[in-house]
Amino acid sequence: MDQLLGFVDPSKRTMVCKLHKALYGLKQAPRTWFSTFSRFLLSQGFLQSKCDSSLFVRKTTSSITYLLIYVDDILLIGTNEEFIQTLLIHMHKAFSMKELCHISYFLSILVQSSPHGYFPSQSKYATDIFAKAGMKDCKPCATLVFLKPPLLPHASLLFSQPFLYRSIVGALQYLTITRHELSYVVNFACQYMHSPTNCHFAAVKRILRYVQGILSHGLHFQPSNFHLQAYSDSNWAGDLSDRKSTSGYCVYLGANLISWSSMKQSTVSRSSTEAEYRYLAHTTAKLTWLQMLLAEFAIPQPSLPVLWFIMLVRRASKAEVRERIDWVTDALNATRAVVEEGIVPDSYLFPSRNIATKEVTSLEVTSSEIRNATGLVTPAIAASLGALTHTLGIFVPVIGASGFATAAVATVIGTVVGSFR
């Protein structure tokens, strides 16, 4: 480390300091902390996940324990409360930590527990975004975007406060952790971070007005099976400015939505087939990763996962189609491989039944239609849904209070716990 200003040794100006201990705030500090904590967990019988390096799993013949860490925030879940209490004692002896007991508020996510599962939401976080934008008392609306472009004066002029635009849109990105229907419009808003116009900021305010109408809504993790289903779709050349395609997918674990995405492809596709195959390969990779993650959780799959796609998965299983679309050979071969190996069955779905279609063409989808399709509910509805199954005595303490956890793994863990209850 360079010598501190005001404390430089005049006779040794070219010398640097050798640290005997990592200091908080240095670039190397997180890596040093993670290495130290990883060695501690390995000494306690945990194994580091191959799917996510921040996940640690400890399996015995009678219990299983999961530990998810991101910087100094830890989520600890297990079926043996006695072992968890012993582990916490050892952790307090080795490190200076604050224990927050059962999960309730974690990384700006409010988690409500009930006999019917878990209900994560971000109502408080969304309220803070309204305060930042000066829209606490804004009027709610039913749609995410304007059906017709608003006729604003000076709409094409650059927005006078680009830092405010970037701050709000960046905050909305974190809101998509529990508000999957925002993925498409937030991704669209992110494409104009460098030079937003007045029209773009009007679109962001429209998103906030929509969120105001569903402020108390969130996801509901209920008892269910562990069957994986994925829906994928692409909107070919949907962006009129550069003719790039927008693609999206959503993955269900039983009846619970656990993963979703909506993004614009990086290259221009020469046909709808090319656009769909590119994202089909991406969705297949995501589905395969989730299979590996569930295997590390020691959760057997009741059947092969199902990948719903508009009539193209069957096409991917036919070898003669390769010569017709040489420019997507890599994506085609990757998809065909998992179909032939039995990882993903040969299935398809028509557009009217494909939930992912709403993720890429949400211009005329109302909030009620999205909630009905994907299960976005209020706490009162969540409390009345589902039925209590066999209880495994899941104990969920939380350590730490700030940071950003691995959302995908945390969501799967929450679904697993909700299904076990």
Pairwise CA distance, residues 298 & 49, whole Å: 12
How distant, in Å, are the alpha carbons of 230, 315, 376, 411 from that of 311? 14, 7, 28, 29
Every domain of the chain and the residues it spans:
10-120+394-420, 123-213, 228-376
| Model pLDDT, residue 397 | 36
Nearest 5°: the CA angle 90, 404, 230 is 110
| Model pLDDT, residue 242 | 86
SS3 238: coil
**206 Cβ neighbours under 8 A, 6+ residues apart:** 141, 143, 144, 145, 146
Residue with tokens 């006078």: 160
pTM surpassing 0.85?
A: no
Pairwise CA distance, residues 321 & 177, whole Å: 38
Nearest Cα neighbor of 212 from 119, 146, 144, 112 is 144
CATH classification (class only), 228-376: alpha beta
Q: pLDDT digit string (tens) for 151-199?
A: 566 778 899 999 999 999 999 999 999 999 999 999 999 999 999 999 8
Q: Which residues of the chain have pLDDT under 50?
A: 311-314, 320, 327, 349-350, 352, 363-365, 381-406, 420
| Model pLDDT, residue 393 | 30
Chain-wide mean pLDDT for the chain? 78
SS3 156: coil
SS3 252: strand
Q: pLDDT digit string (tens) for 79-92?
A: 999 999 999 999 99
| Model pLDDT, residue 41 | 96
| Model pLDDT, residue 276 | 82
